[in-house]
Amino acid sequence: MEFLKNVLGDRYSEFETLIKTYNENPENKDKQVKIADLGSGQYVSKKKYDDAIEARDNYKTQFDTTSEKLKKFEGVDVDKIQKELTQLNLDLETERKNNQKREEEYKFSNDLETAIREAGEGTQKQSKES
């Protein structure tokens, strides 16, 4: 509070006594008056300081974790991976079309065999009836 002597002059001691009296009152135990020269930028509450330290530590941990994850991708050729992915997608589409074509051929073959068998059974019935 010494910095207030210049501001309050002769009334400084009166002000100091009022603040001390207030702070010494047991009813004011949880609401103490603290005077600081914030203009110098040197005062920060312990809670704000602890919160800033905790935030800094959290950011550092996040940064370190992210850096470790990024190291796994060092030397990865993204263009090569994209080309491989494009080729795999083309291969997959080709295989899908081939499977569809084989399925259609298989169905046609089954339908043809069924038609031949049914035609053969119909011919045998006609022979027996004659």
Residues of the chain with pLDDT under 70: 1, 41-42, 122-130
Confidence (pLDDT) at 9 = 86
Cβ 30 vs Cβ 64: under 8 Å: no
Strand extents, DSSP E, 3-112: none
pTM: 0.38
Instruction: Give pLDDT, residue 4.
Output: 79
Q: Quick: pLDDT tens for 29-48.
A: 889 888 777 777 667 778 88
pLDDT for position 55: 96
CA–CA dist 33, 23 (Å, integer)? 6
Q: Residue 51's pLDDT is what?
A: 94
